[in-house]
Amino acid sequence: NGGENNQQPPPRVYGCVIGVQRGRTVEIFNSFELIYDPSTRSLDRSFLEKKQELYKKVFPHFYVLGWYSTGSDAQESDMHFHKALMDINESPLYVLLNPAINPAQKDLPVTIYESGM
């Protein structure tokens, strides 16, 4: 690449996390990617509803607990995504997965944010 060092960060990936919540105990069992257009800040609702319906048929006790994105930090634009899911879960979790590799880090590069009621 000619030694150029103007790499753009990779595009962010968004999705739903599903599982079970009992009181303050949360178990995340699976996830699925969502279709989100950052230029229009719109979420493909029909895709989300279809995936949710399919999961309910196979795993009737699993619910959409919240959502995830990739990145190193939460961004202001994430609130649009967060609010878009509040009609499914009034207090969604936000799981931030950092895809950057840090060999010195022993823990998984995951941060979980909880919205207050």
Tokens matching residue 8 = 């753009």
Would you kindly state where each structural domain of the chain is located, as residue ranges?
14-113
Tokens matching residue 78 = 């994430």
pLDDT in tens, 58-116: 999 999 999 999 988 888 878 888 888 888 888 999 999 988 877 787 777 888 888 76
Distance CA 112, CA 31 (A): 14
- Fold designation for 14-113: Cytidine Deaminase; domain 2 (3.40.140)
Sign of the Cα pseudo-torsion (28, 34, 38, 41, in order): negative
pLDDT in tens, 8-24: 777 888 999 999 999 88
In this prediction, residue 116 carries a pLDDT of: 61
- Please indicate, yes or no, whether the overall pTM of this predicted structure exceeds 0.85: no
